[in-house]
């Protein structure tokens, strides 16, 4: 049987680091086994509908290179892939469960539920559940007579269908990452399966859809572990146990202070979403890795090894290498704290190893946004090659390479002033004159002229190089100074030096 996995986000906001990693592990597992990766939209909560969120998810996946094989936009034989469009399907399954005695109708209103929770609430039990104890005192088909239930249903009384958790069983399963896990059913509440609006909850939908879509392996975040017994029981009660997927609950990705939140990102200055997301209600922007200047290759790479390794010392992986070596069983069971410094290191590594032409396409926009013309492709690529060792985020290229195309606006005078002298000034005035006479403008001719003149005047060349650098670059950074002069050309070099001399 072919491997089929799914990622099932609810389109309610930005796509989190952890979400992307869940997609990634699903994707890698599917591709490693030659299977299919399905994207299903879990939009059963109408009240949380956010316009644009679904399209946003697709954009993120596209940028990451994690294209689904089947989805609302890719189609496939098991559609529709949006749960809101499958609404009619779910009710009959829920009703089958009622008929079989595994679920029941509950007519309790919001107020009645609140009242129950309020009354049962104690210091030891701050959050009472709708469970095998409390259901005895609620308005549901377990306590009402058949006629009463019939009548309520006929009158279209709002109601939900709840799973009837058994009182004293143990449910267990083998998680691909954590091994044997078991739960006492008596401690799990009677989760709602079908809501009053006729939509299924996640619990029903995930089981029905995984079954109908022939999902073989179900990977999801660790936050789902506590509700696993409900899902397990549903597979059993629906009579589908034999086709139940193998489960794996992925560890959480944590922030500097516990669970990684949007707030952490804002607070500590790093992205938590794959791409920029603006909350429609609050207008609050949460930065994305894309906009921050990460390469998708690096983003994928760093996420892959956050919680997984292949047992070797290898850390840098291309997508193909990940597909080849990924093994869900080698995923760590413990949560991992996200380290932004290391994330930047991955990006730096990928900047160094990516072909210049690829890099060029991804950084052009940063230059044009800064009003720098990089239409001379050959020169642009030469510059990229020269400065890429110094860039860990894509926007760094503007700082590190911009001066090749545009004279620095401000010069770091403090770097020169303390050691500046009339003697040095005289040197540069004369040097500029010499430069003007050079006919073959090359690195060696420029440098040799410099050294000869320095020797003649008995000044250490090193003491002169820094001022010259500041003249051409504006600051204390960048590649070899004569190389810069060679690339920007005679006219520009002379121009920058003469301007700088007027300031020093």
Question: Is residue 461 at the binding interface for RNA, with CB under 7 A as the rule?
Answer: yes
In the complex with RNA, which residue's Cβ is closer, 24 or 305? 305
Pick one of 267, 330, 419, 436: the residue that binds RNA (CB under 7 A): 330
Question: What 3-state DSSP class applies to 295?
Answer: coil
Does the footprint of RNA cover residue 336 (CB under 7 A)?
yes
164 binds RNA (CB under 7 A): no
Nearer to RNA, 239 or 258 (CB): 258
What gap in Å lies between CA 23 and CA 8, rounded to an integer?
9
Q: Is 76 in the site for RNA (CB under 7 A)?
A: no
Closest distance to RNA from the beta carbon of 375 (Å): 25
Residue 157 near RNA by CB under 7 A: no
Give the residue among 315, 245, 289, 341 at the shortest CA–CA distance from 29. 245
Q: Compute how many residues bind RNA; rule: CB under 7 A.
A: 86
Taking the C-alpha atoms of residue 55 and residue 448, their distance in angstroms, rounded to an integer, is 59
Distance (Å, rounded) from C-alpha 72 to C-alpha 55? Answer: 10
Gap between the Cα atoms of 45 and 3, Å rounded: 29
Considering only 58, 63, 130, 366, the residue that binds RNA (CB under 7 A) is 130
477 near RNA, rule: CB under 7 A: yes
**Quick check: 466 binds RNA (CB under 7 A)?**
yes
Contact indicator for 328, 21 with CB cutoff of 8 Å: no
Q: Is the backbone peptide bond immediately before 326 cis, with ω within 30 degrees of 0?
A: no
Q: Which of 334, 361, 409, 458 binds RNA (CB under 7 A)?
A: 334
Nearer to RNA, 337 or 436 (CB): 337
Q: Segment near RNA (CB under 7 A), from 56-64, 92-100, 146-154, 308-316?
A: 308-316
How many CB atoms are closer than 10 A to CB 198? 12
Answer whether 454's CB lies under 8 Å from 350's CB: no
Contacts 24+ apart (CB under 8 A), 373-380: 373/405, 373/406, 374/405, 379/404, 379/405, 379/487
Contact 10, 42 (CB under 8 A): yes
Using CB under 7 A as the binding rule, whether residue 309 contacts RNA is answered as: yes
Under rule CB under 7 A, which residues in 249-278 are in contact with RNA?
Answer: 251-252, 254, 257-259
3-state class of 357 per DSSP? helix
How far CA 448 is from CA of 338, 482, 501, in Å, comes to 50, 10, 21
Candidate list 432, 478, 485, 486; residue touching RNA; CB under 7 A: 478
- CB-CB contact of 78 with 214 (8 Å): yes
Helix axes 17-32, 53-64, angle to 10 degrees: 60
Binder among 142, 152, 181, 266 for RNA (CB under 7 A)? 181
Q: Provide the CA 223 distance to its chain's centre, in angstroms.
A: 18
Told to check if 456 binds RNA by CB under 7 A, we report no
For 87-99, letters b (16+ CB in 10 Å) and e give bebbbebbeebbe
**Judged by CB, which is closer to RNA: 267, or 332?**
332
Show contacts with RNA in window 385-424 (CB under 7 A). Answer: 389-390
Q: Does residue 133 touch RNA according to CB under 7 A?
A: no
Query: Closest separation between CB of residue 348 and RNA, Å?
Result: 7
262 a catalytic residue? yes
Of 329 and 437, CB closest to RNA = 329
Q: Is 223 among the residues that bind RNA (CB under 7 A)?
A: yes
Among 22, 26, 140, 201, binds RNA (CB under 7 A): 201
111 binds RNA (CB under 7 A): no
Shortest reach from residue 98's CB to RNA, in Å: 16
Interaction with RNA in 40-69: which residues (CB under 7 A)? 42, 44-45, 47-48
CB atoms within 10 A of CB 314: 11
Q: Which is nearer to RNA, 34 or 336 (CB)?
A: 336
- Binding span for RNA by CB under 7 A among 21-29, 50-58, 326-334, 486-494: 326-334
Active-site residue list: 262
């Amino acid at each position: 049987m072919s491997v089929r996995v799914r990622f099932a986000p609810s389109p309610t906001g930005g796509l989190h680091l952890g979400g992307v990693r869940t997609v990634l592990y699903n994707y890698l597992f599917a591709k490693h086994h030659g299977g299919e990766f399905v994207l299903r939209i879990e939009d059963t909560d109408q009240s949380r509908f956010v316009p644009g969120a679904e399209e946003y998810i697709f954009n993120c996946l596209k940028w990451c290179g994690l294209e689904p094989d089947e989805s609302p936009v890719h189609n496939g034989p098991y559609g529709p892939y949006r749960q809101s469009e499958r609404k009619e399907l779910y009710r009959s399954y829920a009703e089958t469960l009622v008929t079989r005695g595994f679920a029941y109708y509950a007519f309790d209103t919001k107020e009645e539920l609140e009242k129950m929770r309020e009354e049962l609430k104690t210091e030891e039990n701050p959050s009472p559940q709708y469970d095998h104890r409390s259901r005895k005192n609620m308005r549901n088909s377990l306590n009402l007579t058949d006629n009463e239930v019939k009548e309520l249903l006929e009158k279209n009384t709002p109601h939900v269908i709840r799973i009837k958790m058994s009182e004293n069983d143990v449910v267990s399963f083998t998680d691909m990452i954590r091994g044997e896990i078991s739960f006492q059913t008596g401690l799990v509440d009677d989760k709602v399966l079908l809501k009053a609006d006729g939509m299924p909850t996640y619990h029903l939908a995930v089981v029905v859809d995984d079954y109908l879509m022939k999902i073989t392996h179900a990977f999801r975040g660790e936050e789902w572990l506590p509700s696993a017994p409900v899902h397990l029981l549903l597979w059993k009660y629906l009579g589908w146990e034999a086709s139940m997927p193998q489960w794996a609950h992925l560890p959480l990705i944590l922030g500097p202070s516990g669970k990684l939140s949007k707030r952490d990102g804002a607070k500590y200055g790093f992205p938590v979403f794959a791409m920029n997301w603006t909350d429609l209600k609050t207008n609050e922007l949460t930065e994305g890795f894309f906009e921050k200047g990460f390469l998708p290759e690096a983003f994928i790479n760093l996420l892959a090894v956050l919680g997984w390794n292949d047992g070797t010392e290898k850390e840098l992986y291309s997508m193909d290498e990940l597909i080849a070596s990924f093994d869900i069983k080698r995923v760590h069971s413990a949560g991992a704290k996200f380290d932004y410094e290391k994330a930047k290191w991955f990006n730096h590594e990928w900047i160094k190893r990516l072909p210049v032409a690829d890099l060029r396409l991804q950084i052009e926009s940063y230059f044009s946004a800064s009003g720098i013309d990089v239409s001379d492709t050959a020169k642009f690529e030469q510059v990229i090659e020269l400065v890429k060792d110094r860039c860990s985020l894509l926007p760094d290229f503007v700082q590190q390479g911009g001066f090749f195309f545009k004279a620095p606006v401000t010069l770091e005078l403090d770097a020169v002033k303390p050691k500046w002298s009339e003697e040095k000034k005289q040197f540069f005035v004369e040097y500029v004159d010499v430069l003007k006479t050079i006919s073959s403008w090359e690195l060696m001719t420029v440098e040799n002229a410099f050294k000869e003149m320095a020797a003649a005047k008995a000044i250490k060349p090193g003491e002169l190089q820094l001022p010259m650098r500041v003249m051409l670059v504006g600051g204390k950074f960048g590649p070899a100074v004569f190389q810069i002069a060679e690339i920007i050309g005679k006219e520009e070099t002379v121009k920058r030096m003469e301007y700088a001399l007027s300031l020093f």
